[in-house]
């Protein structure tokens, strides 16, 4: 009698079962459950390292070598550091030196190490209506864009690129964010999206070289200004301070940051992208000092 | 135009060659959204049925909460699930942030009110005396529950469609709570966003095509069942 | 053990809706083997009573006693419901085949498949719908669907079969056929049944006993003959078809049997025993009033003969309804043939006659 009832129930379940079949639900939800806590490392990083594909090349090697599992959360440098400040990430790979210094001063991170650099470039429409080509410094180029009122697309997302851009405006003695105008627009999105928007709207923007190289084939936005020491884009790796946040996976973070500055990794960084773009996307710097870069 | 054509060609190439990464992402999307739909189905159908069949104080409030929940913005769900699942958040001990489980949780939260709402309406649309008739046939409460669900199976199927369709195409919550981690929590929608950001429009188009195809196939299948059930 | 007692007994039941009592029955019984009608107009509470008797409605007070045992608690309610069956006005079939519908009550009771399908097939046969066995219940006509519902009820071989206005939604020919089939099957299976209906003819044809429900209370219960011919109050009288109800006062009482009653400035002779001076109601069935155009009174054996003027003539089913003014209002039903042979028309003077025994006298309630 019980069985009969069950049979009725199961018949009703017939179409549920069908759905399960469609979706290939052979695996129970439990199969997704988190692995042992200490195995997971949360890496908060900037979009450029993910969008360029560098992390896709490095992380599998790291995971294979160490047995850790890296959860890469690609956000802007600002948000990455905000996660670190709350102890929601274990290790950061970021490129916003000014903000990083504040982060370190507040005891949020330890063991900040130089990993690599590339540089920022200013790109814009091929016709260069603001005439920034030939400018000696990036603030000079920005000034020309502002003075001619040509469209400039800002990330506007507190990323490393955004904070670099703000630094340049400051050096030019301007603050377009405080005096909103038609020619200055913020996308609030990642570098790739912002470049796409700039390409669509024929605007200028500041981009890291790596992302630009990866996207340039579809963009039609040539480099109009490069080589200014101010445009250096420097990446550091920072362990989130375990003294402040006991739940942080300190050994994992340390293992990852060590990995990033190890000679083997540095040599991969050195050649990464050459086969695809003809030139490297990043320059390894583990044995250098910030002051020596770009010289 | 060239870009679109190129994208479509690449998409076909990816599909025909059964690219393991694309297949993996597709399978993961199906697993995650399928599991979330299944969970929502059980929660939603029972909630909808209980609310439809019982009278209790505050019932009106529950009904309007369900109806509001049907339009719950995924990003809002994503944000709150993230905050709750943070290591230092109230549910941090679960350690499921940035895992597929977290995406399942968020998607189930999005889909449950949708399925509850539609189930509620489906149950209320059954003839008013049907419940009494089934009891009069000698049914226990559990038998009555199942018989009523069986009677409402077609609209409930629509609920499944709506729920599954809503979450497989959802991106905001998935990216926030799942983190779009390669080979782990990267699903069709988050991968599409990322590939667009990377400028890989061809891959993005391929992923979108798969998403569309999937949504179409599932709806097609469910509609077929529905048509076969009631050939009117 | 309690075979002698009533099959079902209710005691002091009260059912409320929105705090207002809609049913209040101090004592009521269903006897073994009887077919009982719950007769009442819409909204009188007959369906509520039926649902209460079948334990489908919550009691606010009182109890149901089935085969001598009180029904209390979920367990005994379920046991009881598995010994009864209910047919609603809407067939309320499940979305499956006709055969599976008829077998559904047995399936719920856990009967194995072969057994329940055999019994279901038997009752499909009895209701003349065996040819529909494999058809989807959603594709039946109203009559076929109600036959399926009735077959489903009989298939569980209920101790009591409840039917709530089972024919109201059907067209007249379908209803006629189904009523005669139901009557036959009830007799063949010797099933105890209770039928809620608003149709007195339906009640008379189907049932041994009637209970007339008035505003949630039982106004009168008794054999069909008793209720039809001896209604206890004006409500029951008019509901069972005594269209003429006249207020009067008893003038004389001969031998506690024959009375003269003053109605307006006329006098009616009636059978009954009320003291002189009593305010009474005289209830007269229209079919018991005959009309003639002959002036002399000698041929009539009836004690009551009045001349009156025809106010209105209107068709009424197979008859014509003639409204007369005889100093009081009197209604008569006559056939088409009589109408023609007497050449009746509105405004014409006629003689109306009815026997003293045709006048049912009840005390006027104050």
The count of structural domains within chain C is 2
Residue of B nearest to C158 (CA): B137
Cβ-based neighbour number of residue A170 at 10 Å: 12
Residues 6+ apart with CB under 8 A from A172: A139, A140, A142, A143, A146
In this structure, are C100 and C222 located in the same domain?
A: yes
- The Cα–Cα gap between C89 and C196 comes to 10
In the block, residue with structure tokens 């109230």: B90
pLDDT in the model for residue C201: 85
Residue of B nearest to C51 (CA): B132
Half-sphere exposure in the Cβ direction for B115 (13 Å, CA) = 28
| Partner C, chain A 4-43, Cβ-Cβ below 8 Å | 4-5, 8
Residues 6+ apart with CB under 8 A from C200: C39, C228, C239, C240, C241
Q: Which run of H or E residues covers position B219?
A: helix B201-229
CB crowding A260-288: b at 16 or more within 10 Å, else e: bbeeebbebbeebbeeebeebbbebbbee
Residues of B with CB below 8 A from A15's CB? Answer: 153, 157, 160, 225
Which residue(s) pair with C84 in the sheet?
A: C160
In this structure, are C207 and C67 located in the same domain?
A: yes
DSSP 3-state of A106: coil
Residue A14 has pLDDT above 90, yes or no: no
Q: What is the CATH number of the domain that holds C315?
A: 2.40.50.100
- The Cα–Cα gap between A112 and C238 comes to 101
In this structure, are C187 and C287 located in the same domain?
A: no
Could you say which residues of chain B have pLDDT below 70? 1, 228-232
In this structure, are C71 and C174 located in the same domain?
A: yes
Residues of B with CB below 8 A from C156's CB? Answer: 137-138
Supply the mean pLDDT for chain C: 91
pLDDT in the model for residue A293: 76
Residue A31 has pLDDT above 60, yes or no: no
Q: Does C156 touch chain B (CB under 8 A)?
A: yes
Residues of B with CB below 8 A from A53's CB? Answer: 198
Q: Does A1 touch chain C (CB under 8 A)?
A: yes
Contact status, residue A13 vs residue A21, Cβ threshold 8 Å:
no
pLDDT in the model for residue B197: 78
Contact status, residue A84 vs residue A108, Cβ threshold 8 Å:
yes
pLDDT in the model for residue C296: 55
Cβ-based neighbour number of residue C69 at 10 Å: 13
Nearest to C128 by CA among C178, C67, C175: C178
The sheet carrying C266-271 orders its strands as: C266-271, C258-263, C244-254, C279-284, C359-363
Task: Give the distance from CA B70 to its chain's centroid.
Answer: 12
Tokens of C128: 């003349």
Highest average pLDDT, of A120-129, A172-181, C293-302, comes from A120-129
In this structure, are C52 and C176 located in the same domain?
A: yes
Residue C343 has pLDDT above 80, yes or no: yes
Contact status, residue A119 vs residue A226, Cβ threshold 8 Å:
yes
Output the DSSP codes for A146-205: HHHT--EEE--SS-HHHHHHHHHHHHTT--TTTS--TTEEE--S-HHHHHHHHHHHT-EE
Measure the CA dihedral B14/B20/B24/B27, to 10°: 70
Contact A25 B27 (CB under 8 A): no
Residues of C with CB below 8 A from A5's CB? Answer: 110
Structure confidence at residue C365 as a pLDDT band (50, 70, 90):
confident
Residues A48-57, mean pLDDT to the nearest whole number: 87
User: What share of chain C in percent tops pLDDT 90?
Assistant: 75
Structure confidence at residue A180 as a pLDDT band (50, 70, 90):
low
Residue A15 has pLDDT above 60, yes or no: no
Structure confidence at residue A9 as a pLDDT band (50, 70, 90):
very low
Residue C114 buriedness (CB in 10 A; 0-12 / 13-18 / 19+):
exposed
Q: In angstroms, what separates the C-alpha of C153 from chain B's closest C-alpha?
A: 8
Residues A235-253, mean pLDDT to the nearest whole number: 93
pLDDT in the model for residue C231: 92
Neighbours of chain B (3+ CB pairs under 8 A): A, C
Tokens of A272: 């990464």
pLDDT in the model for residue C240: 87
Residues A151-179, mean pLDDT to the nearest whole number: 89
Task: Give the distance from CA C281 to its chain's centroid.
Answer: 22
Residues C68-87, mean pLDDT to the nearest whole number: 94
Report the residue from B130, B150, B153 with minimal CB separation from C92.
B130
pLDDT tens digits along A60-108: 999 999 999 999 999 888 899 999 999 999 999 999 998 999 999 999 9
Residues A26-35, mean pLDDT to the nearest whole number: 38
Contact status, residue A291 vs residue A114, Cβ threshold 8 Å:
no
In this structure, are C48 and C29 located in the same domain?
A: yes
Contact status, residue A113 vs residue A284, Cβ threshold 8 Å:
no
User: What share of chain A in percent tops pLDDT 70?
Assistant: 86
- The Cα–Cα gap between B7 and B199 comes to 11
Residues of A with CB below 8 A from C110's CB? Answer: 1, 4-5
CB crowding A17-47: b at 16 or more within 10 Å, else e: eebbebbebeeebeebebeeeeebbbbbbbb
Mutate to test the interface with C, among B126, B132, B133, B136 (most CBs of C within 10 A): B136
C238, C273, C304 — which closes off a domain? C238
Contact B182 A40 (CB under 8 A): no
pLDDT tens digits along C14-48: 998 888 889 999 999 999 999 999 999 998 999 99
Report the residue from B37, B164, B197 with minimal CB separation from A51.
B197
Supply the mean pLDDT for chain A: 84
pLDDT in the model for residue B221: 80
pLDDT in the model for residue A295: 57
Per DSSP bridges, beta strands A152-154 and A184-186 are parallel
Establish if C116 belongs to a structural domain. yes
Structure confidence at residue A182 as a pLDDT band (50, 70, 90):
confident
Least reliable range by pLDDT among A209-218, A253-262, B111-120, C165-174: A209-218
Q: What are phi and psi of C133, to 5 degrees?
A: -45, -45
Residues of A with CB below 8 A from C107's CB? Answer: 4, 8
Cβ-based neighbour number of residue C153 at 10 Å: 26
Residues 6+ apart with CB under 8 A from B183: B21, B24
Tokens of C205: 């044809």
In this structure, are C41 and C153 located in the same domain?
A: yes
Residue A8 has pLDDT above 80, yes or no: no
pLDDT in the model for residue A22: 41
Neighbours of chain C (3+ CB pairs under 8 A): A, B
In this structure, are C176 and C227 located in the same domain?
A: yes
Q: In angstroms, what separates the C-alpha of B150 from chain A's closest C-alpha?
A: 6
pLDDT tens digits along C295-317: 655 566 788 999 999 999 999 88
Residue of C nearest to A4 (CA): C110
pLDDT in the model for residue C79: 95
Looking at CATH, the fold of the domain delimited by A36-117+234-292 is given as D-Maltodextrin-Binding Protein; domain 2 (3.40.190)
Contact status, residue B185 vs residue B103, Cβ threshold 8 Å:
yes
Alpha helices in A14-135 (DSSP H): 14-22, 47-51, 54-66, 77-85, 97-105
Report the residue from C82, C88, C90 with minimal CB separation from B138.
C82
Measure the CA dihedral C130/C131/C136/C138, to 10°: -90
Tokens of B44: 């939603």
In this structure, are C308 and C321 located in the same domain?
A: yes
Structure confidence at residue A24 as a pLDDT band (50, 70, 90):
very low
Q: Identify the CATH number of the domain defined by range A119-231.
A: 3.40.190.10
Half-sphere exposure in the Cβ direction for B214 (13 Å, CA) = 30
Residue of A nearest to C107 (CA): A4
Q: In angstroms, what separates the C-alpha of C198 from chain A's closest C-alpha?
A: 39
Q: Does A3 touch chain B (CB under 8 A)?
A: no
Q: Which domain holds residue C261?
A: 243-363
Q: What is the CATH number of the domain that holds C119?
A: 3.40.50.300
Residues C268-278, mean pLDDT to the nearest whole number: 91
Per DSSP bridges, beta strands C8-17 and C61-66 are antiparallel
Mutate to test the interface with A, among C95, C100, C107, C115 (most CBs of A within 10 A): C107
Mutate to test the interface with B, among A11, A12, A277 (most CBs of B within 10 A): A12
Tokens of A130: 């603001």
- The Cα–Cα gap between C1 and C261 comes to 52
Q: Does B133 touch chain C (CB under 8 A)?
A: yes
Contact status, residue C11 vs residue C72, Cβ threshold 8 Å:
no
3-state secondary structure chain C: CCCCCCCEEEEEEEEEECCEEEEEEEEEEECCCCEEEEECCCCCCHHHHHHHHCCCCCCCEEEEEECCEECCHHHHHHHHHCCEEEECCCCCCCCCEHHHHHHHHHHHCCCCHHHHHHHHHHHHHHCCCHHHCCCEHHHCCHHHHHHHHHHHHHHCCCCEEEEECCCCCCCHHHHHHHHHHHHHHHHHHCCEEEEEECCHHHHHHHCCEEEEEECCEEEEEEEHHHHHHCCCCHHHHHHCCCCEEEEEEEEEEECCCEEEEEECCEEEEEECCCCCCCEEEEEECHHHCEEECCCCCCCCCCCEEEEEEEEEEEEECCEEEEEEECCCEEEEEECHHHHHHCCCCCCCEEEEEECHHHEEEEECCC
Domain range list for chain A: 36-117+234-292, 119-231
- The Cα–Cα gap between B163 and B32 comes to 13
Nearest to C121 by CA among C96, C154, C143: C154
Total-model pTM = 0.78
Q: In angstroms, what separates the C-alpha of B57 from chain A's closest C-alpha?
A: 30
Q: In angstroms, what separates the C-alpha of B197 from chain A's closest C-alpha?
A: 4
Residues of A with CB below 8 A from C112's CB? Answer: 4
- Residues of chain C whose beta carbon is less than 8 angstroms from a beta carbon of chain A are 107, 110, 112
Q: Identify the CATH number of the domain defined by range B2-229.
A: 1.10.3720.10
- The Cα–Cα gap between C269 and C282 comes to 10
- The Cα–Cα gap between C77 and B144 comes to 15
Report the residue from B143, B157, B198 with minimal CB separation from A15.
B157
Contact B147 C94 (CB under 8 A): yes
């Amino acid at each position: 009698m019980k069985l009969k009832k069950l049979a009725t129930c199961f018949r009703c379940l017939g179409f549920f079962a069908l759905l399960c079949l469609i979706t290939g639900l052979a695996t129970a939800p439990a199969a997704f459950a988190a692995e042992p806590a200490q195995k997971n490392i949360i890496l908060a990083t900037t979009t450029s390292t993910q969008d360029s594909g560098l992390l896709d090349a490095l992380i599998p090697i790291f995971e294979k070598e160490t047995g850790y599992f890296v959860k890469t959360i690609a956000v802007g440098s600002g948000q990455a550091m905000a996660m670190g400040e709350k102890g929601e990430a274990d290790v950061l790979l970021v490129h916003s030196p000014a903000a990083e210094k504040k982060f370190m001063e507040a005891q949020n991170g330890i063991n900040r190490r130089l990993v690599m650099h590339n540089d920022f470039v200013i790109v814009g429409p091929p016709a260069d209506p603001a005439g920034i080509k030939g400018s000696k410094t990036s603030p000079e180029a920005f000034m020309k864009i502002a003075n001619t009122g040509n469209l400039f697309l800002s990330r506007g997302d507190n990323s490393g690129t955004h904070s670099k851009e703000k630094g340049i405006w400051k050096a030019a003695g301007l603050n377009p964010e405080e005096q909103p105008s038609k020619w200055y627009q913020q996308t609030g999105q990642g570098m790739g999206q912002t470049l796409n928007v700039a390409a669509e709207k024929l605007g200028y923007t500041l981009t890291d070289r790596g992302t630009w190289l990866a996207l340039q084939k579809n963009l039609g936005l040539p480099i109009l200004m490069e080589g200014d020491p101010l445009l250096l884009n420097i990446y550091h790796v920072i362990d989130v301070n375990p003294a402040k946040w006991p739940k942080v996976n300190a050994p994992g973070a340390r293992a990852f940051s060590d990995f990033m500055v190890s000679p083997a990794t540095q040599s991969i960084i050195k050649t990464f992208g050459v086969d695809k773009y003809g030139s490297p996307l990043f320059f390894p710097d583990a044995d250098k000092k910030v002051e020596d870069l770009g010289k | 135009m060239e870009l679109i054509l190129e994208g479509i060609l690449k998409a076909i190439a990816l599909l025909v060659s059964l690219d393991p990464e694309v297949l993996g992402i597709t399978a993961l999307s199906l697993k995650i959204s399928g599991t979330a739909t299944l969970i929502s189905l059980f929660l939603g159908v029972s909630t909808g049925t209980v609310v439809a069949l019982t009278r209790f104080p505050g019932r009106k409030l529950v009904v309007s909460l369900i109806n509001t929940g049907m339009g719950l913005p995924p990003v809002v769900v994503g944000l709150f699930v993230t905050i709750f699942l943070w290591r230092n958040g109230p549910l941090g001990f679960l350690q499921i942030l940035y895992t597929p489980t977290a995406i399942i949780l968020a998607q189930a939260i999005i889909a449950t009110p949708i399925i509850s709402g539609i189930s509620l309406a489906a149950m209320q649309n059954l003839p008013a005396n049907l419940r009494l008739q089934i009891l009069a046939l000698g049914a226990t409460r559990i038998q009555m529950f199942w018989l009523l669900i069986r009677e409402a199976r077609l609209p409930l199927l629509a609920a499944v469609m709506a729920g599954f369709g809503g979450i497989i195409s959802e991106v905001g919550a998935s990216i926030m709570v799942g983190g779009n981690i390669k080979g782990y929590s990267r699903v069709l929608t988050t991968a599409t966003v990322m590939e667009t950001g990377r400028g890989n429009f061809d891959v993005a188009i391929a992923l979108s095509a798969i998403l569309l195809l999937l949504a179409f196939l599932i709806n097609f299948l469910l509609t077929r069942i529905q048509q076969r059930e009631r050939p009117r | 053990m309690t075979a002698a007692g009533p099959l079902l007994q209710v005691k002091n039941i009260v059912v409320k809706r929105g705090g207002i009592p809609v049913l209040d029955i101090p004592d009521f019984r269903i006897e073994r083997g009887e077919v009982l009608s719950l007769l009442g107009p819409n909204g009188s509470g007959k369906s509520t009573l039926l649902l209460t008797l079948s334990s489908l409605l919550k009691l606010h007070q009182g109890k149901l006693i089935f085969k001598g045992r009180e029904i209390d608690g979920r367990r005994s309610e379920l046991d009881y419901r598995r010994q009864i069956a209910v047919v609603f006005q809407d067939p309320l079939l499940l979305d499956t085949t006709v055969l599976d519908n008829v077998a559904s009550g047995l399936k719920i009771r856990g009967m194995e498949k072969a057994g329940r399908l055999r019994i279901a097939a038997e009752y499909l046969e009895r209701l003349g719908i065996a040819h529909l066995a494999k058809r989807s219940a959603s594709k039946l006509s109203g009559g076929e669907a109600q036959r399926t519902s009735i077959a489903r009820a009989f298939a569980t071989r209920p101790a009591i079969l409840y039917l709530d206005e089972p024919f109201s939604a059907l067209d007249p020919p379908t209803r006629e056929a189904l009523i005669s089939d139901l009557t036959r099957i009830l007799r063949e299976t010797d099933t105890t049944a209770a039928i809620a209906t608003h149709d007195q003819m339906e009640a008379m044809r189907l049932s041994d006993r009637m209970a007339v429900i008035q505003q949630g209370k039982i106004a009168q219960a008794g054999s069909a003959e008793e209720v039809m011919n001896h209604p206890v109050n004006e409500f029951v009288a008019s509901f069972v078809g005594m269209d003429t109800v006249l207020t009067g006062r008893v003038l004389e009482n001969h031998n506690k049997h024959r009375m003269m009653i003053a109605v307006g400035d006329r006098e009616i002779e009636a059978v009954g025993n009320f003291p002189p001076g009593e305010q009474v109601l005289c209830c007269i069935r229209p079919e018991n009033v005959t009309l003639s155009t002959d002036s002399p009174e000698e041929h009539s054996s009836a004690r009551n003969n009045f001349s009156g003027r025809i106010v209105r003539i209107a068709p009424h089913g197979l008859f014509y309804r003639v409204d007369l003014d005889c100093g009081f209002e009197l209604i008569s039903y006559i056939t088409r043939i009589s109408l023609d042979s007497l050449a009746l028309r509105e405004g014409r003077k006629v003689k109306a006659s009815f026997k003293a025994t045709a006048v049912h006298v009840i005390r006027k309630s104050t």
